[in-house]
Protein backbone atom coordinates (compact mmCIF):
# COMPACT_ATOMS: atom_id res chain seq x y z
CA UNK A 1 0.00 0.00 0.00
CA UNK A 2 3.04 2.26 0.46
CA UNK A 3 3.89 5.09 -1.90
CA UNK A 4 7.52 4.03 -1.57
CA UNK A 5 6.65 0.80 -3.34
CA UNK A 6 4.34 2.43 -5.89
CA UNK A 7 4.68 6.23 -6.20
CA UNK A 8 1.82 6.69 -8.68
CA UNK A 9 -1.73 6.88 -7.32
CA UNK A 10 -3.94 3.85 -7.86
CA UNK A 11 -6.95 4.81 -9.95
CA UNK A 12 -10.05 2.61 -9.90
CA UNK A 13 -12.26 2.88 -12.95
CA UNK A 14 -15.97 2.08 -13.14
CA UNK A 15 -18.38 2.55 -16.06
CA UNK A 16 -19.71 5.66 -14.29
CA UNK A 17 -16.50 7.30 -13.08
CA UNK A 18 -13.07 6.94 -11.53
CA UNK A 19 -11.50 7.44 -8.12
CA UNK A 20 -7.89 8.22 -7.19
CA UNK A 21 -5.24 10.36 -8.84
CA UNK A 22 -7.45 13.46 -8.82
CA UNK A 23 -10.62 11.60 -9.83
CA UNK A 24 -13.54 11.79 -7.42
CA UNK A 25 -16.65 9.64 -6.93
CA UNK A 26 -19.70 9.57 -4.70
CA UNK A 27 -21.38 6.32 -3.64
CA UNK A 28 -24.80 6.83 -2.08
CA UNK A 29 -27.89 4.93 -1.08
CA UNK A 30 -29.60 3.55 1.98
CA UNK A 31 -27.90 1.95 4.95
CA UNK A 32 -29.88 -1.25 4.33
CA UNK A 33 -31.82 -2.56 1.38
CA UNK A 34 -35.35 -2.78 2.78
CA UNK A 35 -37.68 -3.32 -0.18
CA UNK A 36 -37.78 -3.19 -3.97
CA UNK A 37 -39.57 0.15 -3.93
CA UNK A 38 -37.13 1.64 -1.40
CA UNK A 39 -33.91 0.65 -3.17
CA UNK A 40 -35.17 1.55 -6.65
CA UNK A 41 -36.40 4.95 -5.48
CA UNK A 42 -33.10 5.63 -3.72
CA UNK A 43 -31.05 4.46 -6.70
CA UNK A 44 -32.99 6.75 -9.04
CA UNK A 45 -32.62 9.85 -6.90
CA UNK A 46 -28.96 9.41 -5.99
CA UNK A 47 -28.21 8.93 -9.68
CA UNK A 48 -30.28 11.98 -10.63
CA UNK A 49 -28.20 14.12 -8.28
CA UNK A 50 -24.88 12.83 -9.57
CA UNK A 51 -23.84 9.79 -7.51
CA UNK A 52 -21.75 7.33 -9.55
CA UNK A 53 -22.25 4.28 -7.32
CA UNK A 54 -25.12 2.79 -5.34
CA UNK A 55 -24.63 1.61 -1.77
CA UNK A 56 -26.98 -0.60 0.22
CA UNK A 57 -26.49 -3.27 2.86
CA UNK A 58 -27.94 -6.73 2.27
CA UNK A 59 -25.99 -8.43 5.06
CA UNK A 60 -25.89 -6.01 8.01
CA UNK A 61 -23.33 -6.26 10.83
CA UNK A 62 -25.61 -4.97 13.58
CA UNK A 63 -24.30 -4.19 17.05
CA UNK A 64 -27.34 -5.93 18.56
CA UNK A 65 -28.21 -9.47 17.44
CA UNK A 66 -31.88 -8.53 17.87
CA UNK A 67 -31.73 -5.63 15.37
CA UNK A 68 -32.68 -5.97 11.67
CA UNK A 69 -29.94 -8.04 10.04
CA UNK A 70 -30.69 -7.15 6.41
CA UNK A 71 -32.58 -8.95 3.64
CA UNK A 72 -29.58 -11.13 2.76
CA UNK A 73 -29.92 -12.90 -0.60
CA UNK A 74 -33.06 -10.97 -1.48
CA UNK A 75 -31.17 -7.73 -0.83
CA UNK A 76 -28.45 -8.77 -3.29
CA UNK A 77 -31.06 -9.47 -5.94
CA UNK A 78 -32.75 -6.12 -5.41
CA UNK A 79 -29.37 -4.36 -5.71
CA UNK A 80 -28.76 -6.16 -8.99
CA UNK A 81 -32.13 -4.97 -10.22
CA UNK A 82 -31.32 -1.37 -9.22
CA UNK A 83 -28.02 -1.61 -11.08
CA UNK A 84 -29.72 -3.01 -14.17
CA UNK A 85 -32.15 -0.10 -14.21
CA UNK A 86 -29.80 2.78 -13.36
CA UNK A 87 -26.42 1.57 -14.60
CA UNK A 88 -24.89 2.42 -11.22
CA UNK A 89 -22.28 -0.05 -9.96
CA UNK A 90 -23.16 -1.46 -6.55
CA UNK A 91 -21.18 -1.57 -3.31
CA UNK A 92 -22.47 -3.84 -0.56
CA UNK A 93 -21.03 -5.28 2.61
CA UNK A 94 -19.83 -8.83 3.06
CA UNK A 95 -19.75 -9.89 6.69
CA UNK A 96 -18.34 -13.42 6.59
CA UNK A 97 -15.70 -15.32 4.62
CA UNK A 98 -18.22 -17.97 3.51
CA UNK A 99 -20.42 -15.27 1.92
CA UNK A 100 -17.67 -13.66 -0.17
CA UNK A 101 -18.16 -15.77 -3.28
CA UNK A 102 -21.91 -15.22 -3.29
CA UNK A 103 -21.72 -11.45 -2.66
CA UNK A 104 -18.95 -11.09 -5.26
CA UNK A 105 -21.26 -12.60 -7.91
CA UNK A 106 -23.67 -9.66 -7.51
CA UNK A 107 -21.63 -6.73 -6.20
CA UNK A 108 -19.26 -4.50 -8.16
CA UNK A 109 -17.41 -3.50 -4.97
CA UNK A 110 -17.13 -5.55 -1.76
CA UNK A 111 -17.47 -3.52 1.43
CA UNK A 112 -15.69 -4.63 4.58
CA UNK A 113 -17.24 -2.82 7.52
CA UNK A 114 -15.62 -1.11 10.47
CA UNK A 115 -16.51 -3.99 12.78
CA UNK A 116 -14.74 -6.45 10.50
CA UNK A 117 -11.79 -4.26 9.57
CA UNK A 118 -9.34 -6.62 11.31
CA UNK A 119 -11.09 -9.85 10.41
CA UNK A 120 -8.03 -11.17 8.64
CA UNK A 121 -9.74 -14.31 7.30
CA UNK A 122 -12.39 -12.10 5.68
CA UNK A 123 -9.77 -9.70 4.29
CA UNK A 124 -7.81 -12.53 2.70
CA UNK A 125 -11.00 -13.97 1.24
CA UNK A 126 -12.13 -10.67 -0.31
CA UNK A 127 -8.57 -10.28 -1.60
CA UNK A 128 -9.15 -13.37 -3.73
CA UNK A 129 -12.61 -12.46 -5.01
CA UNK A 130 -11.51 -10.42 -8.03
CA UNK A 131 -13.61 -7.36 -7.13
CA UNK A 132 -12.52 -3.96 -5.76
CA UNK A 133 -12.77 -3.68 -1.98
CA UNK A 134 -14.06 -0.74 0.04
CA UNK A 135 -12.45 -1.07 3.45
CA UNK A 136 -13.81 0.94 6.39
CA UNK A 137 -11.50 2.01 9.19
CA UNK A 138 -12.14 0.11 12.43
CA UNK A 139 -13.70 1.95 15.36
CA UNK A 140 -10.40 2.16 17.22
CA UNK A 141 -7.81 1.48 14.57
CA UNK A 142 -4.64 3.50 14.14
CA UNK A 143 -3.83 4.52 10.58
CA UNK A 144 -0.93 2.09 10.59
CA UNK A 145 -3.25 -0.76 11.59
CA UNK A 146 -5.69 0.39 8.91
CA UNK A 147 -3.03 0.12 6.22
CA UNK A 148 -1.96 -3.28 7.53
CA UNK A 149 -5.57 -4.46 7.17
CA UNK A 150 -5.54 -3.21 3.56
CA UNK A 151 -2.27 -5.07 3.13
CA UNK A 152 -4.11 -8.38 3.76
CA UNK A 153 -6.23 -7.68 0.68
CA UNK A 154 -3.24 -6.60 -1.40
CA UNK A 155 -1.19 -9.60 -0.26
CA UNK A 156 -3.97 -11.92 -1.44
CA UNK A 157 -3.47 -10.52 -4.93
CA UNK A 158 -6.01 -7.70 -5.12
CA UNK A 159 -4.56 -4.20 -5.65
CA UNK A 160 -7.97 -2.49 -5.91
CA UNK A 161 -8.69 -1.19 -2.40
CA UNK A 162 -10.48 2.00 -1.33
CA UNK A 163 -9.75 3.16 2.24
CA UNK A 164 -12.66 4.81 4.04
CA UNK A 165 -12.35 7.08 7.07
CA UNK A 166 -15.75 6.74 8.81
CA UNK A 167 -15.04 8.18 12.25
CA UNK A 168 -13.30 6.70 15.25
CA UNK A 169 -14.19 6.19 18.88
CA UNK A 170 -13.15 9.07 21.12
CA UNK A 171 -14.41 10.49 24.42
CA UNK A 172 -16.81 12.78 22.50
CA UNK A 173 -20.43 11.57 22.50
CA UNK A 174 -22.15 14.44 20.61
CA UNK A 175 -21.45 12.82 17.28
CA UNK A 176 -21.76 9.06 16.79
CA UNK A 177 -18.02 8.83 16.07
CA UNK A 178 -15.31 11.46 15.62
CA UNK A 179 -14.45 12.01 11.97
CA UNK A 180 -10.66 11.95 11.82
CA UNK A 181 -10.24 14.48 9.02
CA UNK A 182 -6.49 14.31 9.38
CA UNK A 183 -6.61 10.66 8.30
CA UNK A 184 -7.17 11.89 4.74
CA UNK A 185 -3.92 13.86 4.20
CA UNK A 186 -1.92 11.41 6.32
CA UNK A 187 -3.12 8.32 4.44
CA UNK A 188 -2.69 10.07 1.11
CA UNK A 189 0.92 10.87 1.94
CA UNK A 190 1.61 7.26 2.96
CA UNK A 191 -0.34 5.26 0.40
CA UNK A 192 -1.16 5.26 -3.32
CA UNK A 193 -4.65 3.86 -2.61
CA UNK A 194 -7.77 6.08 -2.96
CA UNK A 195 -9.01 7.52 0.34
CA UNK A 196 -12.71 8.22 0.88
CA UNK A 197 -14.74 9.74 3.68
CA UNK A 198 -18.02 8.42 5.10
CA UNK A 199 -19.59 11.46 6.80
CA UNK A 200 -22.82 9.59 7.62
CA UNK A 201 -21.56 7.08 10.19
CA UNK A 202 -19.24 9.68 11.74
CA UNK A 203 -22.02 12.27 12.17
CA UNK A 204 -24.80 9.95 13.25
CA UNK A 205 -27.22 12.84 12.67
CA UNK A 206 -28.31 14.05 9.25
CA UNK A 207 -27.75 17.75 10.06
CA UNK A 208 -24.01 17.16 10.42
CA UNK A 209 -23.47 14.99 7.35
CA UNK A 210 -23.06 17.91 4.92
CA UNK A 211 -20.36 19.81 6.88
CA UNK A 212 -18.39 16.59 7.46
CA UNK A 213 -18.67 15.69 3.77
CA UNK A 214 -17.31 19.12 2.85
CA UNK A 215 -14.50 18.76 5.40
CA UNK A 216 -13.53 15.45 3.80
CA UNK A 217 -13.53 16.95 0.33
CA UNK A 218 -11.51 19.96 1.49
CA UNK A 219 -8.99 17.58 3.10
CA UNK A 220 -8.45 15.88 -0.27
CA UNK A 221 -10.70 12.82 -0.22
CA UNK A 222 -10.97 10.86 -3.49
CA UNK A 223 -14.59 10.04 -2.83
CA UNK A 224 -17.50 9.98 -0.41
CA UNK A 225 -19.92 7.28 0.68
CA UNK A 226 -23.16 8.79 1.92
CA UNK A 227 -26.36 7.26 3.27
CA UNK A 228 -29.56 8.46 1.59
CA UNK A 229 -33.08 7.04 1.91
CA UNK A 230 -36.47 7.97 0.40
CA UNK A 231 -38.01 8.08 3.92
CA UNK A 232 -35.14 8.19 6.43
CA UNK A 233 -37.39 8.42 9.47
CA UNK A 234 -38.81 4.97 8.55
CA UNK A 235 -35.43 3.35 7.94
CA UNK A 236 -34.78 -0.02 9.61
CA UNK A 237 -31.17 0.94 10.39
CA UNK A 238 -29.34 4.25 10.89
CA UNK A 239 -32.57 6.30 10.60
CA UNK A 240 -31.12 9.42 12.25
CA UNK A 241 -28.25 9.89 9.81
CA UNK A 242 -29.71 9.07 6.39
CA UNK A 243 -30.42 11.97 4.04
CA UNK A 244 -33.75 12.47 2.32
CA UNK A 245 -33.58 13.48 -1.35
CA UNK A 246 -33.58 17.29 -0.84
CA UNK A 247 -30.66 17.17 1.63
CA UNK A 248 -28.77 14.77 -0.61
CA UNK A 249 -29.29 17.11 -3.56
CA UNK A 250 -27.88 20.01 -1.54
CA UNK A 251 -24.90 17.94 -0.46
CA UNK A 252 -24.08 17.04 -4.06
CA UNK A 253 -24.35 20.68 -5.17
CA UNK A 254 -22.12 21.91 -2.35
CA UNK A 255 -19.55 19.15 -2.97
CA UNK A 256 -19.38 20.02 -6.66
CA UNK A 257 -18.96 23.73 -5.87
CA UNK A 258 -16.24 23.04 -3.34
CA UNK A 259 -14.34 20.73 -5.69
CA UNK A 260 -14.49 23.35 -8.42
CA UNK A 261 -13.00 25.89 -6.00
CA UNK A 262 -10.10 23.67 -4.77
C1 LIG B 1 -22.58 0.88 6.79
O2 LIG B 1 -21.93 1.33 5.85
O3 LIG B 1 -23.83 0.83 6.81
C4 LIG B 1 -21.85 0.46 8.01
C5 LIG B 1 -22.34 -0.47 8.82
O6 LIG B 1 -20.70 1.15 8.18
P7 LIG B 1 -19.52 0.94 9.25
O8 LIG B 1 -18.99 -0.42 9.01
O9 LIG B 1 -18.55 2.02 8.87
O10 LIG B 1 -20.11 1.15 10.61
MN1 LIG C 1 -25.33 2.45 8.08
CA gap 145, 67 in Å, rounded: 29
Q: Closest Cα to atom 8, ligand 1: which residue?
A: 113
Pairing relation of β-strands 17-19 and 12-14?
Answer: antiparallel
Q: What is the Å distance from ligand 1's center to 201 Cα?
A: 7
Confidence (pLDDT) at 181:
98
Ligand 1 contact via 31 beta carbon (within 6 Å) = yes
Q: What is the Å distance from ligand 1's center to 7 Cα?
A: 30
Residue 4 lies in a domain: no
Round to the nearest angstrom and report the end-to-end CA distance of the chain.
26
Q: Ligand 1 pocket test: which of 27, 28, 55, 57 has the largest number of ligand atoms within 8 Å of its C-beta?
A: 57
Residue 111 lies in a domain: yes
Q: What is the Å distance from ligand 1's center to 203 Cα?
A: 12
Residue 180 lies in a domain: yes
List, run by run, the mean pLDDT of 10-residue segments along the chain (262 residues): 97 98 98 98 99 98 96 98 98 98 98 98 98 98 98 98 98 98 98 99 98 98 99 98 98 98 96
Residue 3 lies in a domain: no
- Give the other-Cβ count within 10 Å of 233's Cβ: 10
Q: Closest Cα to atom 3, ligand 1: which residue?
A: 31
CA gap 139, 113 in Å, rounded: 10
Residue 2 exposure: Cα atoms within 13 Å on the Cβ side: 4
Confidence (pLDDT) at 149:
98
Residue 190 lies in a domain: yes
Confidence (pLDDT) at 67:
97
Ligand 1 contact via 229 beta carbon (within 6 Å) = no
Question: Three-state DSSP class for 224?
Answer: strand
* CATH number of the domain within which 122 lies: 3.20.20.70
Residue 246 lies in a domain: yes
Ligand 1 contact via 136 beta carbon (within 6 Å) = yes
Q: What angle do CA 21, 25, 26 make, to 5 degrees?
A: 155
Residues 6+ apart with CB under 8 A from 174: none
Q: What is the Å distance from ligand 2's center to 58 Cα?
A: 11
- Closest Cα partner for 89 from 60, 55, 46? 55
Confidence (pLDDT) at 70:
98
- Give the other-Cβ count within 10 Å of 245's Cβ: 19
Number of domains in the chain: 1
Boundaries of domain holding 21: 12-59+67-261
Q: Ligand 1 pocket test: which of 90, 93, 133, 237 has the largest number of ligand atoms within 8 Å of its C-beta?
A: 93
Residue 215 to residues 140, 142, 187, Cα–Cα distance (Å): 21, 20, 15
What residues have a C-beta under 5 A from ligand 2, the ion?
Answer: 31, 238
Ligand 1 contact via 192 beta carbon (within 6 Å) = no
Question: Three-state DSSP class for 255?
Answer: helix
Report if pTM > 0.95: yes
Task: Return the beta strands (E) in 21-176 as ranges.
Answer: 25-29, 53-55, 90-93, 109-112, 133-136, 161-165
CA gap 250, 61 in Å, rounded: 29
Confidence (pLDDT) at 157:
95
- Closest Cα partner for 82 from 44, 134, 114? 44
Q: How far is CA 156 from its chain centroid?
A: 21
**Whether ipTM exceeds 0.90:** yes
Residue 99 lies in a domain: yes
Residue 5 lies in a domain: no
Amino acid sequence: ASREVKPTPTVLAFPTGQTGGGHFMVAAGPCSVESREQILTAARFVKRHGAQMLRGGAFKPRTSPYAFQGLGEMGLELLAEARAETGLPVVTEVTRPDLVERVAEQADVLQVGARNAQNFALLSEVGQAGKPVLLKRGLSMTLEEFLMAAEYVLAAGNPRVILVERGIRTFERATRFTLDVSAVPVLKSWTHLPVWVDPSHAAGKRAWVLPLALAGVAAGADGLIVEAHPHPEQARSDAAQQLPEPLFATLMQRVRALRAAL
